[in-house]
Amino acid sequence: MNSDRAKVQAELDSVEAELKVVELQLAELLKKQARLTSNRKQLLRRLEKPCDSTQPSGSGPAMTKQELLRYEKDDFPWSTELKQSLKDVFQLSKFRPLQLKAINLSMSGKDLFLVMPTGRGKSLCYQLPAVCSEGFTLVVTPLVSLIEDQLMYLKSIDVEAVSLNASSSKEHAKMVLAEITDTKVPFKLLYVTPEKIVKSKLLMSRLEKAYSAGRLSRIAVDEVHCCSQWGHDFKPDYKLLEILKRQFPKVPLLGLTATATSSVLKDCQKILCVPEPITLTASFNRTNLYYEVRFKDSNSDDSISDISALIKERYKDQSGIVYVFSQKDAETVSADLQKNGVKVSPYHANMNPEDKSQVHRKWATNKIQVVVATVAFGMGIDKADVRFVIHHTISKSIENYYQESGRAGRDDKPADCIVYFGFNDIFRISAMVAMEKVGQQKLLTMVDYCQNVDRCRRSVIAVHFEEAWDDGGCNKMCDVCRHGNDYITVDITQHAKDVVQIVELAGSLDEKLTPLKVTEAWMGKGPAKRRKMIQTTTLSRLEVEAIITSLLLQGYLGEDFSFTPYTTYFYLKLGGKAPLLKNQAHSITMKMRRTGLDANTVKVSQVKTKEGKRSGDKAANSPVTKKIKKDL
């Protein structure tokens, strides 16, 4: 009787385990269904409104594509003056894509959101209308340094502009506040930081007077994505800018950003109380930029000598930026590069303002070749001839990467964007973004961009920004396209089981393992007691790290944190999909670049399917390549 019960119990356990697997599969299928449905919707929409994906798209409530076309013309009452001022004041010969349309829409009094890649010339879209309109334009900008750059530029072309911000002197503020209500306002643009709008009642009351007198002609909110917590650069004061439309409902508002997904934009519209703006989105494809990912080997990180060689040889006498993770890294990487004979200076938020602007100036005037910077060297960096942006550490999201790397090649000439991808860096950043809403999710999109070997890097960026992508749009201007089909699909099911077993075992012993500990345990470096209970591997460190990263990306492993007042610790735990491994029929694959795979690796990794032919390109740079190749 008892043994009967035990048998039934065992069967019940097995059925329950199987049910759990089915539930997970169902959840997976539902996710897939949602993805496909949304994909189908997008494709249907494209069929209904055929448009060239590389062309800017426009959308708006009461405006059809046909009507929008009208704004690309130059027969408006203001057109002659626009053309004249473009040449005489801004000393530019022609508009870049989307500028004229945006300017005409704004001149017609429409609320507008303009999404245009970094460095494409968004500022002109409010500066030129400001010059060609009565009254003045209010420009909200997040940083004082950005305001200073703009004022300097406008002064150089004789456009009157003033600013109010935390560093304005009392006398200056008094003068500007008085001028706002002058019947003949002596400036065309008033730059303010959002906290001024939110905190200065006096400024608001002056603006209201100017508004009633019809002299507040336009409002521009630069870096508008800062409104949304879903964006990559949320700034709390931006969230309170609803006051602008509430107090000045008749003034056209222009929101500008280089990076915003449609959901971030929707959020911004809601926050700013702009119910039905027209949205113009320029293509994200920067055709002159070459994108490449190189792998950092945790065993022998020679990224510094690699970067030094690049700068001294390939980029000899050319200007560039090396982005690093932390202030400390800025100092050490800068010192290391200097030792290797490269003219560099560090730049980070903790430096005093004079030192920062000195570095910026020296770099802008080519007295130093490279700035080794944290993200503090960011908004407003507008040097046209930056030939390379190298990331010594990955960015915390694709948005950040796009923006940071986008500082290269603003003059439309070829430039390189290279990122060094290291396993340990994932977790350094992970710990940093642990408190951010969707921080982890965004980081994984960046990791996916780096780990990817089979999709054009441009297509990954385009898909991220919800832009329809045409595969011919890269022209071999990324390392993946250059390598062609030089990758293989590897079955990693058994590896996944081994790794999951290590994490599971730790869990049952109430132990938490850092990614480094999991790596070492799997490579047989842990305590002897554990070694006996797990399946260790002979794969190389780089392969082990690539597989663990892939398991993290695919949801077989997950992330866990613990916080102390001083630091955040990062551990690996079982991911939501780990139970699927109990199903014998379940298999997991990952794609790896083939060049550099040695015979042994292929055997151990159980190649399942082979795709494509060896391209013959020896400059491969693969997660399974033992050493980073010097692709000079």
Q: Which two tokens stand for residue 511?
A: 């132990």
Complex with Zn ion: residue 329 or 479, whichever CB lies closer: 479
Query: Which residue among 82, 103, 124, 480 contacts ligand ATP (CB under 6 A)?
Result: 124
Q: Which of residues 224-283 bind ligand ATP (CB under 6 A)?
A: 258
Q: Residue 222 CB, nearest distance to Mg ion (Å)?
A: 6
Binding mask 84-123 for Mg ion (x = CB under 5 A): --------------------------------------x-
Q: Residue 313 CB, nearest distance to ligand ATP (Å)?
A: 29
Dist CA 119 CA 381 (whole Å): 9
Q: By CB under 6 A, tell whether 122 contacts ligand ATP.
A: yes
Write out the DSSP string of 9-59: HHHHHHHHHHHHHHHHHHHHHHHHHHHHHHHHHHHHHHHHS---TTS-EEE
Binding mask 275-294 for ligand ATP (x = CB under 6 A): --------------------
DSSP tag of 513: B
Q: Residue 152 CB, nearest distance to ligand ATP (Å)?
A: 12
- Determine contact, residues 458/477, Cβ cutoff 8 Å: yes
Dist CA 157 CA 91 (whole Å): 8
With contacts defined by CB under 6 A, how many residues of the chain interact with ligand ATP?
15
Complex with Zn ion: residue 454 or 504, whichever CB lies closer: 454
Q: By CB under 5 A, tell whether 293 contacts Zn ion.
A: no
Q: By CB under 6 A, tell whether 83 contacts ligand ATP.
A: no
Query: Which residue among 120, 188, 348, 442 contacts ligand ATP (CB under 6 A)?
Result: 120
Dist CA 270 CA 86 (whole Å): 33
Q: By CB under 5 A, tell whether 180 contacts Zn ion.
A: no
Complex with Mg ion: residue 122 or 517, whichever CB lies closer: 122
Per partner kind, with CB cut-offs from 5 to 8 A, the member of Zn ion, ligand ATP, Mg ion, none near residue 124 is: ligand ATP
Q: By CB under 6 A, tell whether 92 contacts ligand ATP.
A: yes
Q: Which of residues 329-388 bind ligand ATP (CB under 6 A)?
A: 382
Q: By CB under 5 A, tell whether 453 contacts Zn ion.
A: no
Q: Which two tokens stand for residue 524?
A: 């047989």
Is 31 annotated as catalytic?
A: no
Query: Which residue among 57, 85, 118, 319 contacts ligand ATP (CB under 6 A)?
Result: 118
Per partner kind, with CB cut-offs from 5 to 8 A, the member of Mg ion, ligand ATP, Zn ion, none near residue 474 is: Zn ion
Closest CA to 283 of 555, 567, 577, 56: 56
Dist CA 328 CA 338 (whole Å): 15
Q: By CB under 5 A, tell whether 474 contacts Zn ion.
A: yes
In 181-283, where does DSSP find H-type helix? 194-199, 201-212, 242-247, 262-271
Q: Residue 120 CB, nearest distance to ligand ATP (Å)?
A: 5
Contacts of the segment 51-57: beta carbons below 8 A, 24+ positions apart? 53/283, 53/467, 53/468, 53/469, 53/470, 53/473, 54/283, 54/285, 54/470, 54/473, 55/283, 56/97, 56/98, 56/101, 56/280, 56/281, 56/282, 56/283, 57/280, 57/281
Dist CA 289 CA 409 (whole Å): 7
Q: Which two tokens stand for residue 301?
A: 């990180």
H-helix or E-strand spanning residue 572: strand 568-574
Complex with Mg ion: residue 143 or 309, whichever CB lies closer: 143
Q: Which of 49, 73, 87, 122 is catalytic?
A: 122
Q: Residue 94 CB, nearest distance to ligand ATP (Å)?
A: 6
Complex with Zn ion: residue 81 or 454, whichever CB lies closer: 454
Burial group, residue 566, by CB count within 10 angstroms (0-12, 13-18, 19+): exposed
- Determine contact, residues 488/624, Cβ cutoff 8 Å: no
**Residues with catalytic function:** 122
List of residues contacting ligand ATP (CB under 6 A): 92, 95-96, 99, 116, 118-124, 258, 382, 410
List of residues contacting Zn ion (CB under 5 A): 456, 458, 474, 478, 481
